[in-house]
Amino acid sequence: MFFQRTFLSLALAAGILSLASCNKSGDFSKTPSGIEYKIFKSTAAGKYEDKDVSKDGDATYKERIGKIMALHVEYRTAKDSVLFNSRKQQMGFPVRVPLDTVRAAQRGGLEEAISLLQPGDSAVFRFNVDTIFAKSFRQPVPPFMSKAGKTMTMYVKVDKVQDQAEAQADVQKMQVEQQAKMAAHAEEQLKKDDVALQAYAKKNNLTVQKDASGVYYAITTAGPGPKPKAGQIVSVLYKGSLLENGKVFDSSEKVGNKPFDFAIGQGQVIPGWDAGIAQFPKGSKGILLVPSSLAYGQRGAGADIPADAILRFDVELVDIKNAPAQPAAGAQMDEAEIRRQIEAMQRQQQGK
């Protein structure tokens, strides 16, 4: 489908309404399926007032099935950490959600919450994390969400509902504008990041070099081996932290000091890793200082890496291997290869 379902499948990776005659929980109302909510509708005077929805949901939703909803959304953990903010992480552009029939198995999830909203509505939804990940994300609750508490909160402001053709035209226009904004932002941010990186290196007495992409690196222990070439598989021990405050967001220690393997120069990791690790001879230890535009940019990554975050990685290039020959057409991968690829994908999602 042309329209991405990112809104309904955020990992991580990455919830308010008002039902008359439903159970109350503080300032929240609750749907029969357990969603806590408050919904506010806009008035002709430009103000907001509480909106009532029957216990059976919004009877007018059937008229919107098959259309596309444009809305601004923010997700927060139970500890109020922001997981995603569309206004900030999408350059002010809304998220677009295809509206479909809400099945019984989706009650209590994002799909049901969205079905209660109309253009101009603002809402806050509070979900049980176990329920929302099972019903809408169809995956186990990530550990960082479990540690944060038992709920996830979603703040929503609905912009409009469009048919497929209208939404597609809007998306195409938005993409052009967004790309221009992102390019301008990245260029300006890279200048700021470069100043910050140089100041950091000076303050910490680091002798660094800068590659053509803008990554700074310092080899603290030179290894005897060659540098990796594009396409080769490298094995790296690492610790990733935020340059601003030193907070560690990921490390090899979390997986028993097992090296992370990836094919260098193939876009399997952030650009700063592809460029930076390529400067290290086999057996070397050192530091990568990665500007935000070569890491996770304005979008950030989950709750631990905010937008425009400069990253520091303490790394050791343990090994370099030639990529294995591709299996012949129709050949099946063995169990070890399947596990390796699954682990690689999972590790990429956790912060590389």
**Do residues 44 and 101 both lie within one domain?**
yes
250 catalytic per annotation:
yes
Q: What is the pLDDT of residue 23?
A: 38
Q: What is the pLDDT of residue 341?
A: 53
Specify whether the CB–CB gap between 16 and 155 falls below 8 A. yes
Q: What is the pLDDT of residue 272?
A: 94
Number of domains in the chain: 2
Query: Annotated catalytic residue: which of 296, 304, 305, 308?
Result: 296
Which has the higher per-residue pLDDT, 94 or 330? 94
**Do residues 222 and 130 both lie within one domain?**
no
**Do residues 338 and 191 both lie within one domain?**
yes
**Do residues 14 and 162 both lie within one domain?**
yes
**Do residues 162 and 200 both lie within one domain?**
no
Mean pLDDT of the chain: 83
**Do residues 38 and 159 both lie within one domain?**
yes
Q: What are the tens digits of pLDDT across the range 20-68?
A: 333 334 588 999 999 999 999 877 777 778 887 888 888 899 999 999 9
**Do residues 95 and 200 both lie within one domain?**
no
**Residue 176 falls within a domain, yes or no?**
no
Q: What is the pLDDT of residue 12?
A: 31
Domain boundary among 117, 146, 171: 171
Query: Annotated catalytic residue: which of 40, 304, 313, 320?
Result: 313
**Do residues 74 and 45 both lie within one domain?**
yes
Q: Among residues of the chain, what percentage have pLDDT more than 70?
A: 84
Specify whether the CB–CB gap between 142 and 13 falls below 8 A. yes
CATH number for the domain including 136?
3.10.50.40
Q: What is the pLDDT of residue 297?
A: 87
Domain boundary among 171, 204, 231: 171
Q: What's the mean pLDDT in 287-295?
A: 95
**Do residues 217 and 319 both lie within one domain?**
yes
Task: Categorize the per-residue pLDDT at 342 as very low, low, confident or very high, splitting at 50, 70 and 90.
Answer: very low
**Do residues 146 and 198 both lie within one domain?**
no
**Residue 147 falls within a domain, yes or no?**
yes
93 catalytic per annotation:
no
The long-range contacts involving 303-309, CB below 8 angstroms and separated by at least 24 positions, are 303/12, 303/14, 303/77, 303/81, 303/82, 303/83, 303/144, 303/148, 304/144, 304/247, 304/249, 304/250, 304/351, 305/242, 305/249, 305/351, 306/242, 307/88, 307/89, 308/189, 308/193, 309/242, 309/243, 309/244
Query: Annotated catalytic residue: which of 121, 170, 193, 250?
Result: 250
Please tell me the pTM assigned to this model.
Answer: 0.53
**Residue 280 falls within a domain, yes or no?**
yes
The residue whose two tokens read 């919450």 is 113
**Residue 144 falls within a domain, yes or no?**
yes
**Residue 293 falls within a domain, yes or no?**
yes
**Do residues 211 and 120 both lie within one domain?**
no
Tokens of 207: 């002798």
Distance CA 40, CA 27 (A): 13
Q: What's the mean pLDDT in 313-335?
A: 73
Q: In degrees, to the nearest 5, what angle opens at C-alpha 110 toward C-alphas 106 and 116?
A: 95
**Do residues 12 and 74 both lie within one domain?**
yes
Q: Among residues of the chain, what percentage have pLDDT more than 90?
A: 51
Specify whether the CB–CB gap between 275 and 252 falls below 8 A. no
Domain boundary among 119, 149, 171: 171
238 catalytic per annotation:
yes
310 catalytic per annotation:
no
**Residue 89 falls within a domain, yes or no?**
yes
Q: What are the tens digits of pLDDT across the range 238-275?
A: 999 999 999 999 999 988 899 999 999 999 999 999 99
Specify whether the CB–CB gap between 49 and 41 falls below 8 A. yes
Q: What's the mean pLDDT in 154-169?
A: 91
Whether 236 has a pLDDT exceeding 60, the answer reads: yes
200 catalytic per annotation:
no
Task: Categorize the per-residue pLDDT at 113 as very low, low, confident or very high, splitting at 50, 70 and 90.
Answer: very high
Whether 3 has a pLDDT exceeding 50, the answer reads: no
Secondary structure element (H or E) that encloses residue 96, with its range: strand 95-98
Per the structure, the complete domain to which residue 296 belongs is given by 183-349
Query: Annotated catalytic residue: which of 270, 277, 287, 305?
Result: 270
Q: What is the pLDDT of residue 4?
A: 36
**Residue 177 falls within a domain, yes or no?**
no
Q: In degrees, to the nearest 5, what angle opens at C-alpha 152 toward C-alphas 148 and 158?
A: 145
- Strands 209-210 and 82-85 turn out to be unpaired
Q: What's the mean pLDDT in 5-16?
A: 33
**Residue 178 falls within a domain, yes or no?**
no
